[in-house]
Amino acid sequence: MTVAKPRPVPTPTSQPFWDALGDERICMQRCEACNGWVHYPRTRCSHCLSDRLSWHELAGTGIVYTFSVARQPTTPQFLDETPQVIAVVELDDGPRVTTTIVGVDADDVKVGQRVRAVFDHGDDGITLLRFEPL
């Protein structure tokens, strides 16, 4: 029996993020009180607790801030994705996102490497944000 990979379940708060990814855009919240980026989507700023959050489109390019290579699948459903490069990408616009790096051999990924967003459209209507080298 094949078990499906776990998938994100959008909430009313996160729906604008997922909708933007489906349109191949990255949108994240920014606090109007302290100007801090807020990701994952929330109802209050993670820096100052203000509820004055607005959505902003980001460029989709950045650098690999840090990464780790999972050479064993984190769960059996991810066997087809090993080795998997799990990374934190610092976007040129400022925020950092946890993601996966695709389209490159795991041994060729480097801290500081320039990357760009790629959009992994699923059959379930959910699009995942991944990155590949420029």
What is the model's pLDDT at position 82?
92
Is 1 inside a domain boundary?
no
Segment 102-119 shows an average pLDDT of: 98
Range with lowest mean pLDDT among 1-5, 15-19, 48-52, 128-132: 1-5
Q: Are residues 94 and 110 in the same domain?
A: yes
Tally of domains within the chain: 2
Q: Give the global pTM.
A: 0.91
Q: Are residues 20 and 83 in the same domain?
A: no
Q: Are residues 27 and 76 in the same domain?
A: no
Q: Are residues 50 and 116 in the same domain?
A: no
What is the model's pLDDT at position 87?
98
Structural domain of 110 = 59-134
What is the model's pLDDT at position 2?
67
Identify the CATH number of the domain in which residue 101 sits.
2.40.50.840
Q: Are residues 88 and 42 in the same domain?
A: no
pLDDT tens across 51-97, in order? 999 999 999 999 999 999 999 988 888 888 899 999 999 999 989 99
What is the model's pLDDT at position 52?
98
Please list, in sequence order, all residues whose beta carbon lies within 8 angstroms of the beta carbon of residue 90, skipping any fewer than 6 positions away. Answer: 62, 63, 65, 96
Instruction: Report the first-to-last Cα separation within the chain, whole angstroms.
Output: 38
Higher pLDDT, residue 94 or 28: 28
Using alpha carbons, select from 131, 107, 112 the residue that is nearest to residue 26: 131
What is the model's pLDDT at position 5?
86
Is 131 inside a domain boundary?
yes
Q: Are residues 127 and 72 in the same domain?
A: yes
Q: Are residues 63 and 117 in the same domain?
A: yes
Q: Are residues 66 and 123 in the same domain?
A: yes
What is the model's pLDDT at position 3?
72
Rounded Cα distance between 55 and 37, Å, is 10
